[in-house]
């Protein structure tokens, strides 16, 4: 796992880069949040490919637990990926509602993630 730092307009954003899944269970997400927060990051980019598919099954509770912690600690998160493959109405509604806010966003590209997270 590599942490790439994007510095945009005095904003420090961590992009997590990995060839393997780094979030397989709730604890993995909480550990990642804690480690990056400790390093001074309060804006994080994750790639969908690095997150267990169970995260995107809202019934599993993984997304809810992890994203609640991000919100509690006021750490902004952008998840980059192609979410059109998910057919669950509840997930699509969740993504739509999340994207209305500022804390958790689901975006199609790194460029979009950086744009959203660098916006104060």
Check which CATH number belongs to the domain holding 83 and give it.
3.30.750
DSSP count for the chain of H helices, then E strands: 4, 5
pLDDT tens sequence across 26-52: 999 999 999 999 999 999 999 999 999
Judging by DSSP bridges, how do beta strands 104-107 and 11-17 pair with one another? Answer: unpaired
Please indicate whether residue 27 or residue 11 has the higher confidence score (pLDDT): 27
Q: What DSSP designation does 120 have? A: -
Question: Which tens digits make up the pLDDT trace of 47-81?
Answer: 999 999 999 999 999 999 999 999 999 999 999 99
- The structural domain count of the chain equals 1
Q: And the tokens for 56?
A: 């995107």
Coil vs helix vs strand at 90: helix
- pTM greater than the 0.85 cutoff: yes
Of the chain, the percentage scoring pLDDT greater than 90 comes to 94
> Which range of residues forms the domain containing residue 36?
2-118
Pure H helices in 1-88: 26-38, 62-72
Alpha carbons 75 and 41: distance in angstroms, whole number: 8
Give Cα separations from 106 to 38, 114, 117 (angstroms). Answer: 24, 12, 12
């Amino acid at each position: 796992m590599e942490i790439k730092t994007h510095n945009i307009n005095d904003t420090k954003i961590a992009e997590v880069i990995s060839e393997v899944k780094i979030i397989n269970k709730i604890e993995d997400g909480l550990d990642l949040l804690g480690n990056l927060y400790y390093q001074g990051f309060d804006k994080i980019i994750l790639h969908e490919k690095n997150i267990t598919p169970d995260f995107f099954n809202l019934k599993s509770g993984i997304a809810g637990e992890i994203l609640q912690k991000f919100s509690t600690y006021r750490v902004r998160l952008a998840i980059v990926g192609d979410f059109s493959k998910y057919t669950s109405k509840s997930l699509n509604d969740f993504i739509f509602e999340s994207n209305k806010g500022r804390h958790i966003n689901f975006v199609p590209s790194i460029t979009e993630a950086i744009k959203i997270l660098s916006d104060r």
